[in-house]
Structure 1
Amino acid sequence: MNERVAVVIGAGGGLGLATAVVLADAGYTVTAVDRTEKTLEELPDVIRREVVDATDPAVARSVIDRIATESGPPEVLVNTLGAFRPGDALAVTPEELRLMLDVNLGAALWLSQAVAPYMRRRGEGAIVHVSSRPAIEPTAGMAAYSLGKAALNHLVRVLDLELRPDGIRVNAVAPQLINTARNQAELPPEALAHAVSPESVAHIIAFLVGDLAADIGGAIVPAYGA
C-alpha cells in the first residue's frame, strides 16, 4: 500500500480527470470515482477506478471504505462534483433547489464525513471541494446554483474549523468557467475566450493538498481565468 492515497470524486469530468492525472504524476496512489464507467476510460492505467454515484450518502461511505481497504487510508480527497441549472430566484422550483443542494452541498458533506475518520487516524489529511465564482459574487440567473455553492463555501470553512485540530485541512477552489470538452460542445467560442483550463485548476488543487500548503485551511481560492 502506498502511504499517499488520493481519491478524486467526479473524475469522469474534465477537471476531475486532469486532477487525477496531476496527483498521480505527483506520486499519489489515485482512485478515480465517477458514476459512469465510460467517462473514466481516458485515465492512465496506473489510476484505479470506481464506478458509483457518490452523491448517495451510503454509497459515499462504502466507496471510501473500499478504497481504504484496497489502497490504504486516504490522505487526500478531492471532490469535483457539481450540478448546474440556470434560473432566476423567483422561478426556482423545489425540485431544482433540492438538486442543487443535494449535489453541490450534500455530496461534499457526506464524502467529508466518510473520509475524516481515516484522516484522523493518520493525524493528517487534506480535502478540497470545487466551488464556483457565483458562490462568492452573486450572479443573476443562477439563483439555486449560487445558493448551493455558497452553502458549500460555508461548509468548507466549518469543516476546516472542526477538523484542523486533527491535522486535516479543508479548502476549496472556485473557478468561473472551465474549458472542458463538455463546455466546448455546449457554449460558443466567444463564451470560452476567458475560460480557465482544467489543468490550471488541477495544479491549484495539487498545491492545496500538498505540503507547501500545510498552513492553508478554510480558503476559497479563486480560479477565474484570464
Structure 2
Amino acid sequence: MTDRLAVVAGAGGPLGRAVAVKLVGTGYTVVGIDRSEERMRQLPDGIRHLVGDPTDPSVSKTLIDRVAAEAGPPDVLVNTIGAFALGDALAATPDDLRRMMDVNAGAALWLTQAVAPHMRDRGSGSIVHVTSRPALEPTAGMAAYGLSKAALSQLVRILDLELRPRGIRVNAVAPQLIDTPKNREFLPPEAMARAVTPEAIAEVIAFLAGDASAPVSGAVLPAYGA
C-alpha cells in the first residue's frame, strides 16, 4: 500500500487492465471499477476492485464515495470506459446515439462529478479520460460514436476551465486503434498493423496522471500510432 491512490474505471477491459498494472508499477495503490466481475478477475493480485456501472450517475457516486471512505480520497481517476459502433449519420437511431452518449460521455461526466469533491477537499487531483481520433477529425461511417467522443473531448476542456482553479487537472488521450482481442476479431491484419498496444497507451496515461505532467491540463493528446 502507498499513500497515492488511483481509481481506474473500466479496469476489466484490456486498456483498463494495462493502466491499472502500470499505475501499480509506478507506486500507486489502485482500485479498479468495472461492471463485469468476471473481467476484473483477470486483474493481478493486490488490485482491489468494485463492481458497478458508471454510466449510472448514482452508481458512480456510490463507488467513488466507497473508495474514499475505505481507502482515502483518490489522487487520480483514469476513465477507460468506452463503447464503439459503426453506422453512418443518416442511419443513426435515437437508441444508437443515446447508448454512445451514455457510455462515452455520460460515464466520464458522472465519474468526474463523483471524484471532484474529494480531490477539491485535498486541493489536488488528476483526471484522465480516453477519447479517440474520430473525436478530433470527422470520420465517415461512425457518426454516433464520433459525436459522443467529440462531446467527451469538449467536456475535458470545460472541466479544465472549471476544475483547474481548484487544483484538479483534467486531460485526455486520443488513440486511433488499440490492439485488443475484439478489434482483431473483425479488422484485417493490415489495419491491425497500425494498432497501438494497450500498454503503450497506458504509458501515455500514466504520464498525464502523474507529477511529470503537472503543467498540463485541458489537453487532448493524440496517440495514433503508425
- Give the TM-score normalised by structure 2: 0.98
Give the deviation of 1:185 after TM superposition.
Answer: 2.6
Q: Structure 2: which 5+ runs fail to align?
A: none
Partner of 2:36: 36
For residues 94-126 of structure 1, give each alpha carbon's deviation from its aligned partner in whole angstroms, at most 9, with x where no partner exists: 110111111111110000000000000111000
Q: Kindly, what percent of the aligned residue pairs are identical?
A: 66
Q: CA RMSD in A?
A: 0.9
Q: 2:179·2:197 contact (CA, 8 Å) conserved in 1?
A: yes
Cα deviation for residue 49 of structure 1 reads 0.8
Residue 187 (structure 1) shift: 2.3
Q: Which residue in the other structure is 2:19 paired with?
A: 19
Structure 1 gap ranges (5+): none
SS of 2:78 mapped into structure 1: strand
Q: CA deviation at 1:8?
A: 0.3
Question: 1:46 Cα shift?
Answer: 1.1
Match of 1:58 in 2: 58
Q: Aligned partners of 1:159 and 1:191: how far apart in 2? A: 34
Q: Is the 8 A contact 1:8 1:19 kept in 2?
A: yes
Residue equivalent to 1:203:
203
Q: Please tell me whether the aligned partners of residues 76 and 209 of structure 1 are also in contact (alpha carbons under 8 angstroms).
A: yes
Contact 1:29 1:71 in 2 (8 A): no
Contact 1:88 1:143 in 2 (8 A): yes
SS in 1 for 2:148: helix
Amino acid paired to 2:86: P
- Counterpart of 1:54, as a letter, is P
Which whole-Å deviations, capped at 9, do the CAs of 1:192-216 have from their partners, x for residues lacking one? 0100010010010000011110000
Structure 1: how far apart are the matches of 2:60 and 2:153?
A: 20
**Which amino acid in the other structure matches residue 74 of structure 1?**
P
How far the C-alpha of 1:188 sits from its partner, in A, is: 2.4
Alignment partner, residue 224 of structure 1? 224
Residue number in structure 1 paired with 2:118: 118
